[in-house]
Structure 1
């Protein structure tokens, strides 16, 4: 499970040192891909396999929407393997998509993590804060 928010920096070659708490989870390889709201999603290979199986079960499979979803999701995936220091290289096309320059935030979101431009993340949080505060619950199921 990926949790927490971490303010980090990309180096001049587009490398990012993943949070220490995430490194064991992605040690066997991972993918990064375009995420929604102009961020990058990071997924374990196991999670990618689960998504592939779930996509295969969606019916009907040969619709314009299904093809678009598969192309946008699987087509933007890049397999990456963290180096010995836990760094991954984010390709230029994904850095451009998410407007990543130097200051980034890595956010754990349960089964994935997201990489955001710091200013974009700050704006997103500010815009969503009132809606989150107004929710009847925090959005998570409560355990009795």
Structure 2
């Protein structure tokens, strides 16, 4: 399971260190794609395959299903982790997520996300205010 928040820089060549705890779960390579909320989603191959199978069941006759799968799969790329624990993030993905220098890598259960520091701080501040309300409407913590 991916969890935690880590701060790393991306260099001018588009390389960024993946947190060591995440590398243990990812192995030598993983899939990185456009995520929601202007961040990137990273998946171990096993999770990517499960997601791919789930998305294959969407009806291609539905416009929204076609749009989402195009958006999601067209941005997907396999990333290899080098000996220093870095990956090279493709320019289109860096542009989409506005990754310039300071980045935040967060664990989100079966995937991880890469955010620009600015986008993460903006998103977190906006979400923090409504976190209790969101939790109340979605989850019963008194299980």
TM-score (normalised: structure 2): 0.91
Two-structure CA RMSD over aligned residues (Å): 1.8
Which residue pairs with 1:107 in the alignment?
A: 106
CA drift at 1:56:
2.1
Which residue pairs with 1:124 in the alignment?
A: 123
Which residue pairs with 2:33 in the alignment?
A: 33
CA drift at 1:125:
0.7
CA drift at 1:135:
4.3
CA drift at 1:28:
4.2
CA drift at 1:92:
1.1
Deviates more, 1:128-137 or 1:104-113: 128-137
Query: Unpaired runs of 5+ in structure 1?
Result: none
CA drift at 1:65:
1.7
User: Is the 8 Å Cα contact of residues 105 and 118 (structure 1) preserved in structure 2?
Assistant: yes
What is the CA–CA distance in structure 2 between the aligned matches of 1:5 and 1:30, rounded to whole Å?
19
* TM-superposition CA deviations, 1:53-95 (whole Å, max 9, x none): 111223x333222211111111110111111121100111111
What is the CA–CA distance in structure 2 between the aligned matches of 1:138 and 1:83, rounded to whole Å?
42
Which residue pairs with 1:55 in the alignment?
A: 55
Query: Unpaired runs of 5+ in structure 2?
Result: none
Which residue pairs with 1:71 in the alignment?
A: 70
SS at match of 1:53: helix
What is the CA–CA distance in structure 2 between the aligned matches of 1:114 and 1:138, rounded to whole Å?
24
What is the CA–CA distance in structure 2 between the aligned matches of 1:26 and 1:127, rounded to whole Å?
30
